Amino acid sequence: MNFPTNCKYTEDHEWLRMESGNIAYVGITDFAQSELGELVYIEVETVGETVEANAIFGTVEAVKTTSDLYMPVTAKVLEFNAAVGDSGDPALVNEDPFGAGWIVKIEIANPADLDGLMDAAAYEKHVS
């Protein structure tokens, strides 16, 4: 199981990785993708919208189940990763959840919100 230290984590198994300024990437954790199994479809219809922290911003569908995706912090959804979307391969999330398998690019409304997320050690403890 992979727990990159350059990410912050939620109890709902999303990760957030800061890039530059208030821009960040969000995806599901290695733990989440292993629990869900092979992903077959990812839907995000919130591009261009501001989504409140802990609100649903999309869904992931695996062979046996569908799960909601929750926004880690209040943020505007700037981009849905086309590589995992309709014209791409959702299984990229299974293969590389912290890299090519990111789900959305966001602009964080208030960087102080990051303080409410777990670091890698706390998340690893949360799932073990």
Q: Is residue 125 part of a domain?
A: no
Read off the pLDDT of residues 14-49 as tens digits, 9 standing for 90 and up.
999 999 999 999 999 999 999 999 999 999 999 999
Q: How far is residue 111's CA from residue 91's CA, in Å, rounded to a whole number?
A: 31
Range(s) of the domain holding residue 40: 8-111
Element counts in the chain: helices (H) and strands (E): 3, 9
Q: Is residue 66 part of a domain?
A: yes
Report the domain count for the chain: 1
pTM: 0.96
Other C-beta atoms lying within 10 Å of the C-beta of residue 72: 27
Q: How far is residue 31's CA from residue 62's CA, in Å, rounded to a whole number?
A: 14
Could you tell me if 27 and 97 are in contact, meaning their C-beta atoms sit under 8 angstroms apart? Answer: yes
CATH number at residue 59: 2.40.50.100
